[in-house]
């Protein structure tokens, strides 16, 4: 009888290990740098190794989570960020959920971040959906 209980315990533990669901995958993160067409910054840089130094405006770049500083000179020759303006962008990944007993965890959503470089300061928008880039041509590209 003791062996039967041990056998059932072993079967239950084995079933629980097989029955545990997988954890969900983390979502991917994309960053796009944008500017108003008539006010495209003269120079811009972001301290992010995933974004090329000669980046193109209005293009999503896949990036890693982290906090990245940026700076730019607007069409008036004013250097940003100034006091009170955003000086960094927080890139945060949506983490997948843990799997449960007999269920898989849900995948994290992809995150799409727009960093608008404006003469009034930067604006940061977070979306969980892809937005189509404008069809306007930016000068000097």
Mean pLDDT over each residue of the chain, to the nearest integer:
82
For the stretch 25-56, pLDDT in tens is 999 999 999 987 566 667 899 999 999 999 99
For residues 91 and 66, the answer to whether their CB atoms sit within 8 Å is yes
- Strands 111-118 and 29-34, sheet pairing: parallel
131 or 136, which is more confident: 131
The pTM (predicted TM-score) of the whole model is 0.75
Q: Is the pLDDT of residue 13 over 80?
A: no
Nearest to 68 by CA among 52, 43, 46, 86: 46
Residue 8: the pLDDT is: 64
Q: Residue 6: which residues within 8 A CB-CB, separation 6 or more?
A: none
How far apart, in whole angstroms, are the C-alpha atoms of residue 96 and residue 105? Answer: 7
Calculate mean pLDDT across residues 97-118: 87
């Amino acid at each position: 009888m003791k062996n039967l209980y041990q056998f059932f315990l072993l079967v239950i533990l084995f079933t629980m290990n097989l029955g545990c669901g997988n954890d969900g995958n983390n979502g991917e993160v994309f960053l796009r740098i944008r500017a108003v067409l008539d006010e495209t910054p003269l120079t811009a840089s972001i301290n992010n190794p995933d974004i090329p130094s000669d980046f193109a405006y209005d293009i999503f770049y896949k990036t890693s989570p982290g906090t990245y500083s940026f700076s730019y000179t607007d069409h008036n020759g004013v250097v940003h960020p100034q006091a009170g303006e955003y000086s960094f962008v927080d890139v945060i990944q949506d983490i997948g959920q843990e799997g449960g007993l007999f269920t898989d965890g849900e995948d994290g959503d992809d995150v799409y971040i727009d960093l608008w470089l404006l003469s009034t300061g930067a604006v940061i928008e977070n979306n969980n959906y892809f937005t189509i880039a404008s069809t306007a041509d930016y000068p000097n590209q």
